[in-house]
């Protein structure tokens, strides 16, 4: 790339720094992020010696349960049984549903009512064309798994759109004196097949020979407040100034970490508990397999062939001391059951998500009303949702400001700085009865809220 990186000299990016950032991201950051995603998704990653599929969470089992050190037969029947119960995925999905399970409303803070309506329609149009609630839910999922997510606002001939960037692709260039300030941004993507050049250069001149072979190509996009470049396998394929004049990237942490760009993942603290749970479930399954059937020991029966086992069998012997003893059978293990229950309770406390969010109510709620009782039972997940809303709310406001700035530069919708503020209205994540909604609507009308606004909130 060499001298072609000169437009980014003001942010301290040269060829050596770029290579260092990409290598550190590829070799150190991405493997850790992939591990978090695999624990959430728990995909099939291969086959065991017995032909059964091997899941990602099996890597967390001890060697005695993964078949290491075991003398397996040729057909694999002697491999230990692995029981995997993914208690991470439904907790992460529940957190995403509480955050973006219901549509949000974006309200302009402009002074004029007609102006507010125009701005809100413009923002809603861009959000819907970029994926709408699906965009927000996918972004919340990436943030919950990885710890953070970035949004980029793109403005080109095809229009204005919002794109979420997963941490597995995005490489921030952070101000060394302020971790909250981005100097630039790198997007690294691996593609298979032919890559189209964005400029008028011919593909043969830029990526000669790539049509003849299907292989993986590394595409690097570099952004700053003043410039944009795209490289494919080290070859410059697109270059243009940044018309927005600002870095079009908004960073959102899942849960804040002091003095760190990356946020806290909801998956990471659950991994040790998930491994322990899977280990105990696998041990219990093996114990049940070995002990669930009664076995019999025949003494004093001199027979030439093994005794048939089954109901209605008659055995005869001349030995008065002959007997048949039964042994085995699965016995009750209260300590094992209690340990498994304690692991699940620890996952409840760590994630703030209990089975109550799925309708499994085991808490004694007393004589409280149903709504209050439900809120008390879900106090942990509601508190975590409020913290996530604060961080995502600031991120959405930043994205909307960039969208309105891009519209102003494109001449689509003229606005000034004072008109680009947005207020977010979140809906109650808990279910509410129609009677409660109507009672709240009457109170809003009494306070002076317009009837049209109240009817809109009710869905009419």
Answer whether 155's CB lies under 8 Å from 243's CB: yes
Beta partners for residue 171, in sequence order: 186
| Of residues 213 and 225, more confidently modeled | 225
Q: Per-residue pLDDT averaged across 155-175, rounded? A: 94
If DSSP codes are grouped into helix, strand and coil, which group holds residue 415? coil
Task: Grade residue 67 by pLDDT with cuts at 50, 70 and 90.
Answer: low
Report the pLDDT value the prediction gives residue 456, as an integer from 0 to 100: 79
Residue 213 has pLDDT above 60, yes or no: no
Domain boundaries, the chain: 2-20+107-264+382-429, 434-460
Distance CA 187, CA 267 (A): 24
Reduced to 3 DSSP states, what percent helix, strand and coil does the chain have, rounded to the nearest 5?
45, 20, 35
CA distance 415 to 422: 13
pLDDT digits (tens, 9 = 90+) for 407-433: 999 999 999 999 999 999 998 887 777
Q: How confident is the model at residue 375 (pLDDT cuts 50, 70, 90)?
A: confident
What is residue 194's predicted lDDT score, i.e. its pLDDT? 62
Q: What is the pLDDT of residues 171-204, one digit of tens each?
A: 999 999 888 899 999 999 987 766 555 544 444 4
320-352 confidence digits (pLDDT tens): 888 888 776 666 778 888 999 999 999 999 999
Tens of pLDDT, residues 122-156: 999 999 999 999 999 999 999 999 999 999 999 98
What is the enclosing helix (H) or strand (E) of 371?
A: helix 370-377
Average pLDDT rounded to a whole number, residues 27-41:
96
Arithmetic mean of pLDDT, 36-62: 88
Region for residue 259 given its phi and psi (left: phi exceeds 0; alpha: psi -120 to 50; beta: otherwise): left
pLDDT at 200: 44
Cα angle at 257 between 254 and 262, to 5 degrees? 60
> What is the mean predicted confidence (pLDDT) over 370-379?
72
Task: Please give the mean pLDDT across all residues of the chain.
Answer: 85
């Amino acid at each position: 790339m060499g001298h072609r990186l000169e437009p980014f000299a003001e942010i301290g990016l040269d060829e050596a720094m770029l290579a260092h950032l990409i290598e550190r991201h590829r070799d150190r950051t991405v493997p850790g992020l992939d591990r978090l995603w695999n624990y959430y998704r728990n995909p099939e990653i291969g086959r065991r010696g017995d032909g059964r599929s091997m899941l990602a969470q099996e890597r967390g089992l001890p060697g005695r349960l993964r078949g290491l050190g075991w003398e397996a037969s040729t057909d694999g029947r002697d491999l230990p049984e692995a029981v995997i119960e993914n208690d991470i995925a439904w907790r992460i999905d529940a957190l995403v549903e509480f955050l973006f399970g219901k549509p949000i409303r974006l309200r302009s803070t402009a002074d004029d009512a007609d102006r507010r309506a125009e701005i809100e329609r413009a923002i809603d149009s861009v959000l819907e064309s970029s994926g709408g609630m699906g965009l927000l839910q996918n972004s919340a999922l990436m943030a919950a798994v990885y710890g953070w997510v970035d949004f980029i606002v793109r403005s080109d001939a095809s229009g204005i759109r919002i794109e979420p960037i997963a941490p597995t692709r995005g490489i921030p260039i952070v101000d060394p004196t302020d971790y909250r300030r981005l100097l630039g941004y790198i997007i690294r993507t691996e593609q298979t097949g032919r890559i189209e050049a964005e400029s008028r250069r011919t593909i043969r001149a830029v990526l000669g020979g790539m049509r003849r072979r299907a292989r993986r190509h590394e595409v690097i996009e570099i952004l700053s407040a003043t410039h944009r470049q795209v490289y494919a396998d080290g070859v410059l394929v697109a270059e243009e100034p940044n018309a927005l004049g600002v870095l079009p990237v908004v960073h959102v942490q899942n849960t804040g970490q002091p003095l760190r760009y990356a946020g806290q993942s909801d998956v990471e603290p659950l991994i040790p508990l998930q491994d322990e749970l899977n280990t105990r479930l696998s041990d219990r399954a093996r114990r049940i397999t070995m002990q669930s059937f009664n076995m019999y020991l025949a003494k004093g029966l001199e027979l030439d062939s093994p005794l048939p086992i089954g109901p209605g069998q008659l055995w005869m012997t001349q030995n008065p001391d002959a007997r048949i003893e039964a042994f085995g059978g699965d016995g009750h293990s209260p300590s094992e059951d209690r340990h498994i229950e304690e692991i699940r309770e620890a996952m409840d406390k760590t994630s703030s998500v209990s089975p109550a969010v799925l309708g499994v109510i085991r808490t004694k709620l007393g004589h409280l009303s149903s709504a209050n009782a439900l809120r008390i039972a879900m106090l942990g997940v509601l508190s975590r949702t409020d913290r996530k809303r604060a961080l995502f709310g600031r991120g959405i406001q930043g994205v909307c400001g960039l969208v309105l700035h891009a519209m102003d530069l494109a001449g689509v919708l003229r606005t000034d700085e004072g008109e680009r503020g947005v207020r977010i209205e979140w809906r109650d994540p808990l279910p509410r009865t129609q009677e409660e909604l109507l009672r709240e609507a009457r109170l809003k009308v009494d306070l002076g809220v317009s009837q049209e606004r109240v009817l809109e909130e009710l869905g009419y």
